[in-house]
Structure 1
Amino acid sequence: MADMLRYTIPDIAADHADFRGVIWTGEHSQLVMMTIPPGGEIGTETHKHTDQLLSFVRGTGEGTVGDETHHLDPGDVCAVPAGTMHNFVNTGEEPLALYTIYSPPEHAAGAAYANKEAADAAEASGQDAPPAQ
């Protein structure tokens, strides 16, 4: 039996400056930390075969999932079913920190990108592909 892996999200969020960093990747899900700078966004996207849960830790923002848009505060959680268009924008004056759980994994195990441009480039080149299922 595997040892329990324990993560203290507020501590990770406090020290996390990268746009996106994969914390843990399992066979069926993945834990990723994100920090979006003021005025920044994840970018409109759709994950065809991946469900996503996003939990907001610090900052304020606005989330659009499908046709609905809502204000977001620390403690809020958004569920994005596979195949649903979504975007999350930092509307505050401090970084918007969140963690997200992808099921199945969406990104390369251990991947970390300092900013959205680097993350987008890695995805476009295939460098940020999830582990083979």
Structure 2
Amino acid sequence: MKEVRRTTLPIVEMARENTEFRQVIWTGDNTQLVLMAIPEGGEIGGEVHEGHDQLLYFVEGEGEATIGDTRVAVRPGDVSIVPSGSYHNFRNAGSTMLKLYTTYCPPEHAPGTEHETKQQADADE
């Protein structure tokens, strides 16, 4: 999917339909919107974004969020807030795909980035 240029999106529906690990769907000067799908047993991978705040909105599946020293369960309707400079990782703890959308402020990935799997994402970084 190429980046969209519309200003209103059915984002929850788009996140539920997404099967790619990472799909950048919109990039502005200060914010980026990304769909993510984490397979059963998978994870985003521990990381720290310096200079980037991140919000993750969960729409399907069950997961575990680690932000700094805190570890909590996440489920549809939850949002995780990752301030700049905080260690974080998100793991699929359920038996179905963990689906979410996330915002980066400022943008983290090149506009239009698509990674079908975590392995592709890791190789691209």
Q: TM-score higher than 0.5 here?
A: yes
Larger Rg: 1
Question: Hey, what does 1:70 align to over in structure 2?
Answer: 72
Structure with more of its chain in strand, by fraction: 2
Q: Unpaired runs of 5+ in structure 2?
A: none
| Distance (whole Å) between structure 1 residues aligned to residue 121 and residue 40 of structure 2 | 17
* Map 1:28-107 → 2, pairs under 5 A: 28-107=30-109
Where do 4+ consecutive residues of structure 1 move more than 2 Å?
Answer: none
Question: Pairwise CA RMSD of aligned residues?
Answer: 1.1
Q: How far is 1:87 from its partner?
A: 0.1
* Residues 73-114 of structure 1 deviation map (CA, whole Å, 9 limit, x = unaligned): 100001000000000000000000010000000001011000
TM-score normalized with structure 1 length: 0.88
Q: Secondary structure at the match of 1:120?
A: helix
* Residues 20-39 of structure 1 deviation map (CA, whole Å, 9 limit, x = unaligned): 00010000010000000000
Percent identical among aligned pairs is 51
TM-score normalized with structure 2 length: 0.94
